[in-house]
Amino acid sequence: MSQNGLFDLSGKTAAVIGGGSGIGEAIAIGAANQGACVIVLDANAPAAQAVAARIPGADAATLDIRDAAAVNAALDAIARGRGRLDIVICTPSINVRTPILRYTSEEFDRVVAVNLKGSFNVLQAAGRVMTAQRSGSIVIFSSIRSQVVEPGQSVYAMTKAGIVQLVRAGAAEFGPFGVRVNAIGPGVVETPLTAPIKANADWYQAYANKSVLKRWARAEEMVGPTLFLVSDAASYVTGTILFADGGWTAADGRFTPPGM
């Protein structure tokens, strides 16, 4: 392939899970702009349909990643209907910000069911399709919280660290079949889910200052890193996490020494 076509997704079938809003919405549109045939999957059916309506040739369907049978059925249906499934991108996650000593069993189960079990369901279902066709690329969203934490983020951080190991295991098992598996590690991104933080000026600014770029990311800024991983530009990249965090995990100092 020529260097000019490295990021071209023409002829590829891409399932974007969580594509009804936020980062997933931006990625669905971005993948279509690179030529992919996009299927928008989301637990919120009207949201998925609204995004698909903005993308020529796109389809939409409802999907709850906690339901393994539903995930298998959805990805199998795409592969049968489109002839193949080249790309699966999984963005959904939830967070309950609660100190460890106050975390309830129900809250623990709810976060793990979406973030970890849901991601496993997607990896397993996509892996079954892609290993059979002997090609494909899977990207699952992790977070900077896989590496660094703050009070109240215990279970969320645990699941995001688990996703990194899940991706590595998937890459090791699926690699011989020509299937690549990677993760994206965003920092703080402006989405509907982070709106309550943005509404608190001090909290918003504290997160902005933690990035070396001194600002939050826009959802659209997750498109490039994600599409890189699913494109031929990353044909030898698998089993890794790409941090798109504005340098959050690169800099650990909060004090600038004199003379700097």
Give me the active site residues, please. Answer: 156
Beta-carbon contacts of 200 under 8 Å, excluding residues fewer than 6 positions away, are none
Give the separation between CA 29 and CA 46, rounded to whole angstroms: 16
Q: What tokens were used for 88?
A: 């699966």
Calculate the alpha carbon distances from 13 to 37, 81, 162, 209 in Å. 5, 10, 27, 39
Give the separation between CA 88 and CA 111, rounded to whole angstroms: 22
Calculate the alpha carbon distances from 85 to 7, 11, 229 in Å. 17, 11, 16
Beta-carbon contacts of 26 under 8 Å, excluding residues fewer than 6 positions away, are 219, 220, 222, 223
